[in-house]
Structure 1
Amino acid sequence: MMTDVREQNGARPGSGEAGATEAADGQTGTAEPVASARITEIRERIDEIDRALIGLWQERAALSREVGATRMASGGTRLVLSREQEILERFRAALGADGTSLALLLLRAGRGPL
């Protein structure tokens, strides 16, 4: 179910609805030129990081699938739960509860759902 997305000022993006920051740049949320330029720079770096994360995610999933296939082809088990617990703990220790959620997504991407 899609929800109605609204800017912080209460207007829908691109709707032309008046809001508290009517003169604000639609892309950065501010009309102040220095702040707008800095936001644009920061977002460019965020986009670079996102591209790197996506590439690393895909590489990790492929490597994990290869580990599983190699293990099973040699008569091993589909999963090694102690290894999964180690990964979950590593992410939880570094990132808290969100790290556990992220680790679960990474594990599923590499091995598929249980």
Structure 2
Amino acid sequence: MGGALGAVALYLIWLGWHAPYRQGRDSNVETGPYDAQQVAGLALSLLILAVLLAWRLAPRPAAFGVSGGLWIACSADAASRPSSDGLWPIGSFLVLCAGAGAALVVSEVALRLRRRQPAAR
């Protein structure tokens, strides 16, 4: 539960203040609504959150909680956008798949590291 709430909070912090789409400076290509550093910051923050929770708590529920929270926040944001063209479920599914894949990797690494660590006395 904490992982999901943390992921939603990080999503709102990094991507909750997005700007409208804008015209590229050197081309007629429309960009946005997020800047690359916003998305990279969110990804790094989510990774840190997932690793910390997986290390301190049960790895699989922690990592998949972060993934689920990201999916819920992303889906709610995309579905509620007035400019939504109806394709948001496809993007939502891709976020779900990528998040689940990342959660699986993080949880497996955390499990293997925990097994190698000697028991605390």
Q: TM-score, normalised by structure 2?
A: 0.40
Higher relative contact order (CA closer than 8 Å, sequence separation 6+): 2
The structure carrying a bigger helix percent of its residues is 2
In the superposition, the TM-score normalised over structure 1's length comes to 0.42
